[in-house]
Amino acid sequence: LPLVHGDTSFIGEHDIQVPANLFLTKAQVTELHASIKAAQEWWGISYKDAAHWLYLQKMAQVQAEMAEVERLKAMMARCHRLINETIRRHSGRAGST
pLDDT in tens, 52-62: 999 999 999 98
Is 85 inside any structural domain?
Answer: yes
End-to-end CA distance of the chain: 67
Residue 1 is assigned to a structural domain of this protein: no
Residue 85: pLDDT band by 50, 70, 90 thresholds? Answer: very high
Q: What is the DSSP letter of 4?
A: -
Q: Is residue 15 part of a domain?
A: yes
Query: How confident is the model over 7-29, as pLDDT tens digits?
Result: 455 555 566 666 555 677 889 88
The parent domain of residue 27 ranges over 8-96
- Residue 2 resides in a domain: no
Query: What rounded mean pLDDT belongs to the chain?
Result: 82
Is 86 among the domain residues?
yes
Q: What are the pLDDT digits (tens) for 25-84?
A: 889 889 999 999 999 999 999 999 999 999 999 999 989 999 999 999 999 999 999 999
CA max distance for the chain: 78
- What distance lies between CA 13 and its chain's CA centroid? 13
Indicate whether 59 belongs to any domain: yes
**Domain assignment of residue 3, yes or no:** no
Q: Is residue 61 part of a domain?
A: yes
How many domains, in total, are found in the chain? 1
